[in-house]
Amino acid sequence: MNNEKPSGILTGPNLLSCIDELSLQDHDDLTHCTQIATHSANMACSRFVDSTKWLDEYVTTLNFLGWSVFQDTIFTRTRHDVSKSVADFLIQRAQAMPDHRQGNAMIDTLDALKPDKPAVVSLDEESRLGNRFQVIPARYDSKGVLQIAVFNLELVADTKRSNFLFLGREGHAAKIIQQGAYLKLDKNILETKRALIEKKRSEIKAKRFDLWKNKR
């Protein structure tokens, strides 16, 4: 069995960025929970019509699967100018997080995504060229608890273009509207839901792209 870990994962509108010591089991659990939460939120409403309601259902589903909100932060809307590319913006935001490893992990994830044409096309389609997508950095805290930040993002630009993450925005007005939540995993709760998770993920059959930094 190959124990090498991907730099990140793309599934639906979710781009997961993982620090390199995340275990393979936690990679899979995080991906499956994300897929189930996305499906549940899509059943509740369109993320393109009511992003706040969609994100509320998304987080509620994660909570049911064992992820609890912490830092009392959820759904705060902020606006940011994008002066270069969306990818550069994501790296800057990750570098500003308390754990400096998140910045390097985001760089590795985006480096792995950029040459993966099927994954880039899938993200373009799922997000409607950046109209709504999510970036989810993951890490362990000092006690070994798995934590994630869920950044729900909307690219507001004068033109919508394919490969939206990597195209330069110089001379083109663009902003990112961000809502976010921070969650941590109680593995004891997740274990009680494992049979349900396996059943749901087999029913959903969501696309998953493991992003390998040195993929050719």
Rounded to an integer, the average pLDDT of 47-62 is 94
Distance CA 61, CA 95 (A): 28
DSSP label at 81?
Answer: E
Q: Name beta bridge partners: 177.
A: 79, 154
Share of the chain above pLDDT 70, in %: 94
Local confidence band at 215 (pLDDT 50, 70, 90 cut-offs)? low
Q: Is 74 exposed, middle or buried (0-12, 13-18, 19+ CB in 10 A)?
A: middle
Residues 6 and 15: beta-carbon distance below 8 Å:
no
Quick: pLDDT tens for 63-107: 999 999 986 666 677 888 888 899 999 998 888 887 888 888 899
User: In this structure, which CATH number among 3.40.50, 3.30.519, 3.40.198, 2.30.130 belongs to the domain 8-208?
Assistant: 3.40.198
- Position 36: which residue type? I
The amino acid at 79: R
- Those residues whose C-beta lies under 8 Å from the C-beta of residue 63, and which sit 6 or more positions away, are 69, 183
Mean pLDDT of all residues belonging to the chain: 89
Quick check: 190 pLDDT over 80? yes
**Identity at 202, one-letter amino acid code:** S
At residue 1 the predicted structure's pLDDT band, cuts being 50, 70 and 90, is: very low
User: Cα dist. 178→44, 181, 194 in Å?
Assistant: 21, 10, 31
The token pair that represents 209 in the structure block: 């792209």
Q: Which two tokens stand for residue 34?
A: 């994300």
pTM, to two decimals: 0.91
The Cα–Cα gap between 119 and 84 comes to 22
Among residues 43, 216, 34, the alpha carbon closest in space to that of 117 is found at: 216
Domain locations in the chain as residue ranges = 8-208
Tens digits of residue pLDDT in 4-47: 778 899 999 999 998 877 888 999 999 999 999 999 999 999 99
Across the range 131-142, mean pLDDT stands at: 93
Q: Map tokens 């090498």 to a residue.
A: 4
